Structures are given as C-alpha cells and as structure tokens.
Amino acid sequence: MDKPKLVHDGAKAPSGSDPCFEEEIAALRAHIERRLGELFPNRISSDLNAAIAHGLLSPGKRLRPLITLFACRQCGGDALEAIDAACAVEMVHAASLIVDDLPCMDNAQLRRNGEATHVAFGEGIGILAAIALVNEAFATISKMQQAEYRQRIIAIEKLSNAIGVNGLAAGQERDLSRNGDAPKGGIGEIEKSHLEKTGALFASAAGIGAVLAGARTVEIDAMERFGAALGLAYQTFDDVIDAQCDETETGKDAGQDEKRTTVVTMLGADSANKSAEEWIFTAIKEAEKVDCGAGSPLTGLARLIEQKFSKMMRKS
C-alpha cells in the first residue's frame, strides 16, 4: 500500500462529527453488546468462564465489530446480518488483549479501566481464556445460518490470516525480538509491526463485512485496504496517546512504550500525529472507492476516530 505524500491538497480528512451518525454507532454498539451477551450466556460457574466474560464483555469501543457492520452496509448488505461475524472479530480482539497484557509480553496491569485478565484470574486462566475465545470466534462464524457456506469459509480464512504468521502473532513476535532496540528497517519496520498487530485485524473485519454482503472482489480488496490504513492510523495515534496521556484517560497502563522504539520516539509526537492523519486520508480514499448506494459510513467512522484522538491530545 503506497502512503500519500506529506503535502497534498485535502490530505487531512475533515474533522467534526454528525450527531446522527454517533447515535447510529451507539445503536450498533448496543446490538453488539446484546449479541455478545447472548453468545456467552451465564454458564456453569468457573474461573475460565468468568475470565472470558471479563476479557470480552468489559466495556470497550467495539471498533472492530463496527468496521465489520459498516463494511457490510457500505457494500450493499444488511449490517445486522453480519452481527455474529462482527462479534467473532471482537472475540479475537479480546483474546489478543489478554495475550498482550501477559507478564511474558507487555506485563500490563490495567485494561479497559479494570484489572488485566491475568491480574484478576491468574496467568494460566488468562491464557486458557484467550485460547477459548479464538475457538469460539471460529465456531460462531461457522454457525451463521444467514450466510452462505462459501461466505462463512472465506470469513473464517480471513480471520485466521489476521491472527497467525501474517498478523497478530507475527507482529507481537516482531516487538519481542526487538527488545526495545531501534528497528533496523527504521520507521518502515515499525509500521510493518503496526500493520500486523492492528491493521491485519482491521482489514479482516472490513473484508469479512464485505464478503457477507456479497461484494465483488474489487470491493472486498478496497475494504481491506481501508481497514489496513485505518489500523495503521489508529496504532500511530495510540502511540502518541501512550506518550502523552495517563491511565485515567486511556483506561489502560500508560507509558508502556517508554522503553520501546515507536513512531513517536523516532519522529516526535507532531510528526507521528501527521503520519496518522495521512493514514486516515488513505483509508478514506479507499472507502470512497466502494459505492453501492448505501453511502460511506466507513468514511464517517475514520473521521470520528481522528476527531476523538485529537480531543484526547488537546486535553493532555
């Protein structure tokens, strides 16, 4: 994916949010929360089930499932028919957070304004909860009766690709292998890690939504490029926030990147923020390539993400 030049007309996506769009997001989040609760009803009490609920059902932005629902809508489908796939994406995300927080990884203590799962339930139970969530994600998609068999297979393939050697696992290994050292590949290597750890799941979320809408290959590809670019923007913004904000603002451990080489340590906060804005622009351009008569809710989502991160930076 080519990154836009630093200087060009209209590079920065327009700021400002539409109250009606934010209400729509709130309504979709409510659908996601309700369905997650249905997929994980009260079962026989156990520490494992409690840990799964802790990692999955604690309050979150639900950004990745929103991408799936909006991509489905933008490609001409019924967003709510993709709700189970969206929840599956959130299960994988929740599993990745549990793993990222482990003592052998980031050794984080806070997550979503509460204790990290391994802190609340122990490292062993935390690992089992993450494994269970990934398996539940695939099972959830496989049982989607409203989707064609072929669509379910493709969705599972896309989700598995986002987790493995070209996705989350690879990005985490890349971070561990650097051990805080400056990457030999410079900023490009850091963005490669961002693409694997964050962009891959964003791209998968968007691609799955497009597949379930019955989109053409060219539309699916554009949706995945949108997701990858948005993921790079999101992670770069997150690096800036980590350097500037405290736990009360982020809901998780702050300063986790102090001993790491990040976009912020290499470029400075202002240039890192500029880079994130460029990736937002790239994401919007990809989203605008898909017009199936349902507007471009993904464009609105990208602009809203940029605005909310900008507000956090102004407060710090």
Condensed to tens digits (0 to 9), the pLDDT of residues 257-313 reads 555 677 888 888 888 889 999 999 999 999 999 999 899 999 999 999 999 888 876
In a domain, 14, yes or no: no
| Token pair recorded at residue 260 | 């790491």
Instruction: Specify the pTM.
Output: 0.89
Cβ(108)–Cβ(253) below 8 Å: yes
Q: Is 113 left (phi over 0), alpha (psi -120 to 50) or beta?
A: left
- Measured CA to CA, the distance from residue 159 to residue 138 in angstroms comes to 8
- Amino acid letter, residue 274: K
Is residue 2 domain-resident? no
Flag whether pLDDT at 146 surpasses 80: yes
Q: How high is the pLDDT of residue 268?
A: 85
pLDDT at residue 213 above 50?
Answer: yes
Mean per-residue pLDDT for 65-77? 98
Q: Which residue range forms the structural domain that includes residue 204?
A: 19-315
pLDDT confidence of residue 68: 98
For residues 235 and 194, is the Cβ–Cβ distance under 8 A?
Answer: yes
Question: Helices in the chain by DSSP H: which ranges?
Answer: 19-39, 47-57, 63-74, 83-101, 117-121, 123-142, 149-163, 168-178, 187-194, 200-212, 217-244, 247-250, 263-267, 269-287, 297-315
In a domain, 55, yes or no: yes
Where do we find the tokens 């292998």?
Answer: 177
At residue 179, the pLDDT reads 64
State the total domains in the chain: 1
Tell me what pLDDT residue 1 has: 44
Q: In angstroms, rounded to a whole number, what is the distance separating the alpha carbons of residues 130 and 66? A: 21
Over the stretch 10-47, which tens digit does the pLDDT of each residue have? 333 333 468 899 999 999 999 999 999 999 876 657 89
Instruction: Note the pLDDT of residue 96.
Output: 96
Residue 261, Cβ density class (10 Å: 0-12 exposed, 13-18 middle, ≥19 buried): middle
And the tokens for 281? 């622009």
Distances (CA, A) of 203 to 54, 103, 161, 314: 26, 28, 10, 29
pLDDT of residue 190: 84
Please report the DSSP string for 188-213 in residue order.
HHHHHHHIIIIIHHHHHHHHHHHHHT
Task: State mean pLDDT over 73-81.
Answer: 96
How many Å apart are CA 314 and CA 54, to the nearest integer? 31
Domain-located, residue 12: no
Q: Is residue 46 helix, strand or coil? A: coil
pLDDT for 96-126, tens place per residue? 999 999 999 989 988 888 899 999 999 999 9
CA–CA separation, 227 and 203 (whole Å) = 4
Query: Quick check: is 48 in a domain?
Result: yes
Under 8 Å between Cβ of 62 and 29: yes
Asked if 144 and 138 touch (Cβ cutoff 8 Å), the reply is no
Q: Is residue 276 part of a domain?
A: yes
Distance between CA atoms of 201 and 224, rounded to whole angstroms? 10
More confidently predicted of 142 and 183: 142
In the chain, what is the straight-line distance between the N-terminal and C-terminal CA atoms, in Å?
Answer: 32
- Residue 4 within a domain: no
Q: How many CB atoms lie within 10 A of CB 135?
A: 12
Where is 111: in which H helix or E strand? strand 110-111
In the beta sheet, which residues pair with residue 114? 111
- The conformation of residue 13, written as its DSSP 8-state character, comes to P
3-state secondary structure of 234: helix
9 found inside a domain: no
What is the identity of the amino acid at 96? S
Say if residues 265 and 193 touch (Cβ distance below 8 Å). no
CATH of residue 308's domain is 1.10.600.10
Amino acid at 247: E
pLDDT at 140 over 90: yes
Which pLDDT score is estimated for 16?
A: 44
Looking at every residue in the chain, the average pLDDT score rounds to 87
